[in-house]
Amino acid sequence: MKPVDTLLFGTAGTPHSAEPRDSVAGIERLKQLGLDAMELEYVRGTFPSKNKAREIAGVARKTGIRLTAHGPYFINLNAVEPEKREASRKRAFNTANYGALSGAESITFHAGFFLKQPPEDVYRTIREELSGILGRLSENGIDVDVRPELTGKETQFGSLDEILSVSKELAGIHPCIDWSHLHARSGKCNTSKEFQSVLDTVRNILGDSEIRQMHMHLSGIEYTGKGERKHLDLDESDMNYRDLLRVLKDNDVCGILICESPSLEDDARILKDFYTAL
């Protein structure tokens, strides 16, 4: 990602108050709202045309709004069937390709499912697939950080340990820390002390520089013993975002924090206002 010396706040996709509701209007709306970033949502598997992507990149450049991209939900780099595996590689590649063309500096996606296989085998498979994707990106001159996301369920690849290990092993891979998913996995990780320990772990494994180039997600969240159920607005959930923001500030964490609450821009403003007032 491009260097940044503060924490930037943005929305997961086009803000609701953008008119029309597309990426170009969304970026302009974020500028008006005093927000900093937007994640392009390719979650349903549709990508912009090349012309549209270039237009998006132009508006982002003009407004200074920073962009990232989220890949389709149906990526499973551990899929057993070769066609499904190949389709997943393609979706990850396209996310990077269209993301980069649109001016995104990083991409994130949920890397895969365990399908009841031994976790060590799945880790090895997904690491190899990610390495293959990095190779394809570099052959095509596509320069974006690839950030597997910390996921909200134990059945999905993407615990804190897994994404930090794969980030350590492969240059070009960095974590996407979704604080709400982390909380939803166990019901824990919702206190200052626990937030601090996550940052200490990131620092220990990936070094201090990683803390200055973080990509993170945050929203309210509903969860059960099986993990994430659905995203909620911040103040409708138990997510302790105030202490989290305090810990991020105390640690001088820099990068991009994307708000994934249903009321996208309202909650993003709540986060930015609280952070700025600290």
Q: Which stretch binds Zn ion (CB under 5 A): 29-37, 122-130, 144-152, 167-175?
A: 144-152
From the list 34-42, 121-129, 149-157, 223-231, the region that binds Zn ion by CB under 5 A is 149-157
**Residue span binding Zn ion (CB under 5 A) among the ranges 131-139, 147-155, 206-214, 242-250:** 147-155
Least CB distance to Zn ion at residue 230 (A): 13
Cα separations (Å) of 76 from 130, 138, 161, 186, 203? Answer: 11, 21, 19, 23, 28
Find, among 3, 19, 60, 16, the residue nearest to 37 by Cα. Answer: 60
Nearer to Zn ion, 59 or 217 (CB): 217
At closest approach, how far in Å is the CB of 177 from Zn ion? Answer: 11
54 or 230, CB closer to Zn ion?
230
The piece of 31-39, 52-60, 148-156, 182-190 that touches Zn ion (CB under 5 A) is 148-156
Q: Which CB sits closer to Zn ion, 23 or 219?
A: 219
158-182 as b/e, with b when 16 or more CB fall inside 10 Å? bbbebbbbbbeebebbbbbbbbbbb
CB of 32 to Zn ion, least distance (A): 26
Q: Which is nearer to Zn ion, 57 or 75 (CB)?
A: 75
Helix (H, G, I), strand (E, B) or coil at 45: coil
Distance (Å, whole) CA 91 – CA 71: 7
How far is CA 50 from each of CA 35, 92, 100, 149, 152, rounded to the nearest angstrom? 26, 17, 11, 26, 33
Q: How many residues bind Zn ion (CB under 5 A)?
A: 1
What residues make contact with Zn ion under the rule CB under 5 A?
Answer: 149
